[in-house]
Amino acid sequence: MVIINRQGAFFMKHILRTRGAAILAAGVLILAACLLGGCTGKEEAAKVRDLEFTVIGQNEIPQELADMIGQKKNEEFKLTYTDGADLYIAVGYGEQPTGGYSITVPEFYLTENSIVIKTELQGPESTEQAGNSPSFPYIVIKTPFMEEPVVFQ
């Protein structure tokens, strides 16, 4: 319904101003609650327990996963693969200028709703013969199958 007279037009403007002020006030309150209440976009889930794993060699990697690694090894990659019984997690660091690199797994644990893995690339030791050829370091670990998604850190 449209009111055409001046009083009606003034009344509609007043309603719009009041409604706009209410929306603005609500927005300010929500923002203040987030800032003061500690709204964070990223919270780490609590660790339920550490998980056991086995680092596997090239000859133990399922062929399908080995093929995927071969295609992606030039760049950094993070892959998961399952054969139904086991879960395989592969992390690669792409092309490195020399050999002698190693990869460690300082954290591998279960949270309420995910599996968390943290890997670190270790450079060649100064006493180690690194060579002049590039390398493509990666690690593949095997653990019993679980349905939770894997979070890479």
pLDDT in tens, 93-114: 999 999 999 999 999 999 999 9
Terminal-to-terminal C-alpha distance of the chain: 58
Residue 1 has pLDDT above 80, yes or no: no
pTM, two decimal places:
0.69
CA distance 47 to 148: 14
H or E element, residue 13: helix 6-37
CA distance 78 to 68: 11
Q: Is there a contact between 47 and 111 (Cβ–Cβ < 8 Å)?
A: yes
> pLDDT category, 132, cuts 50, 70, 90?
confident
Tokens of 41: 């976009």
Give residue 53's pLDDT. Answer: 98
4 or 145, greater pLDDT: 145
pLDDT in tens, 7-62: 555 555 555 555 665 665 565 556 555 555 555 545 567 999 999 999 999 999 99
> pLDDT category, 131, cuts 50, 70, 90?
confident
Give residue 60's pLDDT. Answer: 97
Give residue 70's pLDDT. Answer: 96
Map out the domains of the chain as residue ranges: 1-41, 47-152
> pLDDT category, 125, cuts 50, 70, 90?
confident
* % the chain with pLDDT above 70: 68
Residue 2 has pLDDT above 50, yes or no: no
